[in-house]
Each structure stands twice: as C-alpha cells, then as structure tokens.
C-alpha cells in the first residue's frame, strides 16, 4: 500500500501538483526541448480551468454540440437476468460516438486560447483522430493525425472520415506500426512545432500535465452520473462503478465523480493489454506507470479485439489508485467480449463498442459467479457505440 497522503492536498484525484506525481507514478519524462511546452500548457490549463468564461464556453459546446448530458439508462432486462441493478452511463450517445469528444473539445478550446492554430494527435483505431478532426473543424484549426501504418490499413474507413473532416493523416512506418509508434512520432513532431501546435493527447497518459488535464476534461462523465444516480437510486450512490481501460480516460472521468463515496471502483483491462495485472513499473511516452515489457525492459505490444484497449501502458493515476487500494483492476479476455456485445444488444437494444463490452463482460461474469451480491447497484460507463466494430463482430460470429 502506498501512503495516500503523498498527493499535495491530501485527497485522491485532486491536483497532482507541479511535478504531476500520482504516488510514484506520472511525472514528465520528456526531452529537454519539450519541458517549456509542457510548462506553458500546464500554466494555460490552470488559468483556463479557473476562468468561469472558459468553463462556460466549454459547457456550452458540450451541451449544444456534443449532446450532453448523456443519459443514464437502467439496463432493465439485463438487470432482471443477472439479479442485480445495472445502470448505463451512455457515452455512446455523445457526438462522434464515444466519450473522446469531451476531452478533445476542451483541449481544442485551450489550444485556441493559447494562440495555437494546429492540433496534432495520435490515434490507434482512429476514434481519437476522428474526434480531434471534428473539434478542429468546429473551431477552424488545422489537424494532423499520426497513425500507425498497420492501423491505417486496418481502419481505412476512419482514415477517410478524418480526411473528410479536413484532417491530414500521416502513416507511421516505424516500429510495430501501431498506436505506440504513432504516439512516439506525434511527440517527436511536437518538439519541432511547439510554437503554433498543440498536441491533443487522447487519454490520461503522456507527460504532466496531460493525465491531469484529460481526467479533468472527462470528469463531466462522473459528475453527471453522480447526480443522475442520486436521482435514480434510493441509496444515492451505486455499490460498484465499472469502466473499461485503454489508457484510462473514460474510467478516470467516471471515477472522479465517485472517488469520495463508498462505491467500489473497478477498472476493466483487456487481458492482452493488462498493464496492472501483467506489467512492471517503467517509463513510456513521458510518464512512469505500469507498462507491459519483456525481460530486457523493451515495451511489449498489446493485443486486444478492441483496438481502443490496445495500449501497453495505463494512465499513472490508475497505477496509483491501484497501489493505494482505492480502485481495483481486473481483466476480461477477447472470448468474453463478443457474447457480452450480443447480450447487451438483445436485452437492451444497445450495441456497445468492443471496448465498453469489456466492462459489461466483467459485470456479467461477476454477477453470475456470485462475486456481485444479489440486488447490488452497478454503474457501468458505456464508453462508446459499436457501429465501428460491426465487421469485427461479424467475423467473430
Ligand atoms: C478510445 C476508447 C476507449 C479507451 O480509452 P480510455 O482512455 O481508456 O477511455 C474506450 N472506449 C471507447 C469507445 C474508445 O473509443
């Protein structure tokens, strides 16, 4: 167990301070040339986040453009089958089909406030790339998206979407030609263009201040869910709060709304990308956390049926929540995911993203094994819709 008082103001999921540390995790492990850009960004975010006008502008975009608040839907028939009470936080209903728009709108507004005219982003399956291209179009910014060459081939439709939205997509041919390499390339490019370019990171990862900024921008998911649960539940707070984890942004945003309640927080990793279960502490993309690596400390490839969970690391704050015991991290295998998609589709008429189906799959397993007590209440963040995954689901059938 780590000492919980190591955070500057003593509370969990608070401001991680100037060094951006979450217990022994986090930090800012970047080339000397990026330190000023990170410091400038931190200061700009601190100012903006304390500025009521910035908050009002963002809230307005989230409402009139992204479609917030998203619904909290009781999963009536699935609940009856499992003998528990499942509530779904519907990020699948947000514009572009996932929670990613919350983060991207905030960072794009921040970039504009800082006088930047270009956004760059990394993307794996293309969901964060599409969200970034969308926000750039909305605010009249240029967008360049780095994507592993292998992913460019696998996700041709999302490449076309980004181009339709006016973004330039750059295939990254180094390394394993996937998300890990796209992220490294975006960081390298940022070094050369910090004057007019904001690097819009897609999850609670990267050097400080990114894990903190992205968690704060996703906090809206947890805060809305908290208020909606208060209205929906006799107890006011669910017994369990469950979310899937790639880098960990939808989970971090959700947990932020419940970290000060008695709710048990559960993060669900893909078995093939389970940094908490199978990783060791290391440095990746500018931060220290649990990372999948081989015996020589080389970062391993993650493998998941859900492209959005194909990341060998986990956000540093999750590593800390794990060490402190405040949140628990579990894994779900590819084989459990497709049945979970089908079950939610047939019981509720909702087709979840393969990523989100990991959270559903854990709830089903835990309810059926008796790990979840009868009649308990479980909030699940449904991070995105499954339309993008139709081909994968059909092939797996
Ligand atoms: C990108 C993505 C994820 C994984 O990202 P986190 O930062 O862990 O939230 C999960 N679900 C969906 C639908 C995604 O697009």
Identify the residue whose C-alpha is closest to ligand 1 atom 1: 308
Residue 117 sits at the vertex; the CA angle it makes with 113 and 120, to the nearest 5 degrees, is 105
Summarize the confidence of residues 167-195 as an average pLDDT: 94
Quote the mean pLDDT of the chain: 95
Residue 385 has pLDDT above 90, yes or no: yes
What DSSP state is assigned to residue 238? -
Q: What torsion do the CA atoms of 186, 188, 191, 197 make, to the nearest 10 degrees? A: -20
> Of 125, 161, 246, 315, which is best to mutate to test ligand 1, by the most ligand atoms within 8 angstroms of its C-beta?
246
Confidence at residue 63, expressed as pLDDT on a 0 to 100 scale = 98
Between the CA of 231 and the centroid of ligand 1 the distance, in Å, is 27
Q: How far is CA 203 from CA 33, 137, 229, 377, 380, in A?
A: 23, 21, 25, 28, 19
Mean pLDDT for 305-332 is 96
Domains of the chain: 21-61+99-210 (3.40.50.1100), 69-98+219-396 (3.40.50.1100)
102 backbone dihedrals φ, ψ, rounded to 5°? -60, -45
Stretch 9-27: mean pLDDT = 90
- Is a pLDDT exceeding 50 seen at residue 5? no
Alpha-carbon radius of gyration of the chain: 19
- Collapsing DSSP to helix, strand or coil, 2 comes out as coil
How sure is the predictor about 11, in pLDDT bands with cuts at 50, 70 and 90?
Answer: confident
User: What's phi and psi for 95, nearest 5 deg?
Assistant: -55, 140
Strand order in the sheet with 264-270: 72-74, 85-90, 377-382, 240-245, 264-270, 327-332
Which among 284, 323, 287 has a CA at the least distance from the CA of 214? 287
Q: Which of 110, 119, 71 is nearest to 94 (CA)?
A: 71
User: Using a 6 Å cutoff on CB, does residue 293 contact ligand 1?
Assistant: no
* Whether pLDDT at 287 is above 70: yes
204 band by pLDDT with thresholds 50, 70 and 90: very high
pLDDT for 176 equals: 87
Give the span between the Cα atoms of 63 and 228, in whole angstroms: 16
Segment among 84-88, 119-123, 309-313 with least mean pLDDT:
309-313
Which of 122, 185, 269, 317 is an active site residue? 122
Q: Which tokens hold the place of 104?
A: 């991207």
pLDDT digits (tens, 9 = 90+) for 333-383: 999 999 999 999 999 999 999 999 999 999 999 999 999 999 999 999 999
Mind listing the pLDDT tens digit for each residue in 255-265?
999 999 999 99
Q: What share of the chain is helix, strand, coil (3-state, %, to 5)?
A: 50, 20, 30
Do β-strands 118-123 and 142-148 pair in parallel, antiparallel, or remain unpaired? parallel
Q: pLDDT tens, 47-82?
A: 999 999 999 999 999 999 999 999 999 999 999 999
pLDDT (average), residues 279-290: 97
143 Cβ below 6 A of ligand 1? no
User: What does the pLDDT read at residue 387?
Assistant: 93
Selection from 212, 200, 183 nearest residue 22 by Cα = 212
Residue nearest to atom 10 of ligand 1 (CA): 355
Report angle CA 201, 257, 41 to the nearest 5 degrees. 30
* Ligand 1 mean position, distance from CA 99 (Å): 7
DSSP for residue 115: T
Tell me what the mean pLDDT of segment 295-313 comes to.
92
Residue 203 has pLDDT above 90, yes or no: yes
Position 10 scores a pLDDT of 55
Q: What is the pLDDT of residue 106?
A: 98
Q: Which of 105, 344, 361 is nearest to 242 (CA)?
A: 361
What is the token pair recorded at 216?
């704060």
**Interatomic CA distance for residues 25 and 54, integer angstroms:** 30
Strands laid side by side in the 280-284 sheet: 21-22, 25-26, 287-291, 280-284
| Residue closest to 217 by CA, chosen among 72, 102, 55 | 102
* pLDDT for residue 6: 46
Q: Is the CB of 254 under 6 A from ligand 1?
A: no
DSSP label of 161: H
What's the average model confidence in pLDDT over 128-141? 98
Give the number of the atom of ligand 1 that is nearest the alpha carbon of residue 251: 9
Beta strands in the chain (DSSP E): 21-22, 25-26, 72-74, 85-90, 118-123, 142-148, 168-172, 197-199, 240-245, 264-270, 280-284, 287-291, 327-332, 377-382
Q: Check: CB of residue 386 under 8 Å from CB of residue 341.
A: yes
Beta bridge partners of 198: 119
Please report the atom of ligand 1 found closest to the CA of residue 205.
7
d(CA 327, CA 307): 24
Number of Cβ within a 10 Å radius of residue 87:
22
Q: Is 388 a catalytic residue?
A: no
């Amino acid at each position: 167990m780590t000492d919980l008082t190591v955070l500057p103001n003593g509370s969990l999921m608070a401001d991680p301070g100037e060094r951006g540390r979450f217990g022994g995790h986090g930090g800012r492990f970047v080339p000397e040339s990026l330190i000023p850009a990170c410091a400038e960004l931190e200061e700009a975010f601190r100012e903006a986040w304390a500025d009521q006008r910035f908050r009002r502008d963002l809230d307005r975009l989230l409402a009139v453009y992204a479609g917030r608040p998203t619904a909290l839907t009781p999963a009536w028939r699935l609940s009856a089958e499992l003998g528990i009470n499942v509530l779904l936080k519907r990020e699948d209903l947000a514009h572009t089909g996932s929670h990613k728009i919350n983060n991207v709108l905030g960072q794009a507004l921040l970039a504009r406030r800082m006088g930047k005219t270009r956004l760059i982003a990394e993307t794996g399956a293309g969901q964060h790339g599409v969200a970034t291209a969308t926000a750039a179009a909305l605010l009249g910014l240029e967008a360049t998206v780095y994507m592993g060459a292998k992913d460019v081939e696998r996700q041709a439709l999302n490449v076309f979407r980004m181009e339709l939205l006016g973004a330039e997509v750059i295939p990254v041919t180094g390394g394993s030609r996937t998300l890990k390499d796209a992220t490294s390339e975006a960081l390298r490019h940022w070094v050369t263009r910090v004057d007019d370019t904001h690097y819009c990171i897609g999850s609670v990862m990267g050097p400080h201040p990114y894990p903190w900024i992205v968690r704060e921008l996703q906090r809206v998911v947890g805060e809305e869910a908290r208020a909606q649960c208060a209205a929906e539940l006799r107890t006011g707070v669910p017994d369990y709060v469950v979310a899937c984890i790639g880098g960990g942004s939808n989970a971090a945003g959700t947990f932020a709304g419940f970290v000060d309640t008695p709710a048990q927080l559960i993060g669900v990793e893909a078995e093939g990308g389970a940094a908490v279960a199978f990783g060791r502490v290391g440095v990746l993309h500018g931060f220290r956390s649990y990372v999948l690596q081989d015996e020589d400390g080389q970062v391993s490839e993650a493998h998941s049926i859900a492209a959005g969970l194909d990341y060998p690391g986990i956000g540093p704050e999750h590593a800390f929540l794990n060490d402190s015991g405040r949140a628990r991290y579990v894994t779900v295998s590819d084989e459990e995911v497709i049945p979970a998609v089908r079950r939610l589709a047939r019981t509720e008429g909702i087709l979840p993203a393969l990523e989100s189906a990991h959270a559903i799959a854990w709830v089903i397993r835990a309810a059926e094994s008796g790990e979840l007590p009868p009649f308990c209440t479980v909030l699940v963040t449904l991070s995105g819709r499954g339309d993008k995954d139709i081909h994968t689901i059909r092939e797996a059938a």
